[in-house]
Amino acid sequence: MEKPKRRTLSNPERAAGKCRCGAVRFDILVPALWAWHDHSAATRATTSAAAMCWVGSWKKRFRLLEGEDEVTRWEEPGTARSFCARCGTPLFYERDRSRHVINIPRALFESRVGREPRYHAGLKEMPDWAYLGEALAPLKGYPGIMVERKRKKKRAP
């Protein structure tokens, strides 16, 4: 059996990603700094998703490879969020309190990033309609569609 290739400083492993339309391409050095699920209302409103799984990278380990002109940045106090101007894909989430870190949606990476998303932030802001892994059953007459059997107790808003 061949010995696995060892990573060295001259041969660092990178994880690449891109937006939906492919205009914006980037990569980071692996392993990422962290990966986390963000259930906050602010992220929900800017991504239109119940939650977002972010991969954090030191900015010095991040490279924007293509599409700089397509990156649209929106700032509010303490944060900056970037999107692809062409396809609307959420790209980057930066926070003043972590100035050397850039967060990138896990879903945009084409390969493993070296971190499992084991952290959750903003749980108290999670909506009661978010899917939490409840039991599912096939929906009769709709192949590929599943339906929740029964909601447990309604969570606090």
| 91 in contact with Zn ion (CB under 5 A) | no
* Closest distance of CB 29 from Zn ion, Å: 23
| CA 3 to chain CA centroid, nearest Å | 32
**Which range of residues in 6-14, 23-31, 132-140, 149-157 is near Zn ion by CB under 5 A?**
23-31
* Closest distance of CB 105 from Zn ion, Å: 12
Q: Which residues of 80-90 are buried (b: 16+ CB within 10 A; e: fewer)?
A: ebbbbbbeebb
| 86 in contact with Zn ion (CB under 5 A) | yes
Instruction: Please report, for residues 40, 74, 92, 141, the alpha-carbon distance to residue 110 in angstroms, rounded to integers and kept in the order given.
Output: 25, 25, 16, 34
How far apart CA 102 and CA 128 sit, in angstroms, is 29
* Closest distance of CB 16 from Zn ion, Å: 15
Instruction: List the one residue from 15, 23, 91, 101 that touches Zn ion (CB under 5 A).
Output: 23
- Reply yes or no: is the peptide bond before residue 31 cis, omega within 30 of 0: yes
Instruction: List the one residue from 48, 65, 74, 87 that touches Zn ion (CB under 5 A).
Output: 87
Q: Name the site residues for Zn ion (rule: CB under 5 A).
A: 19, 21, 23, 84, 86-87
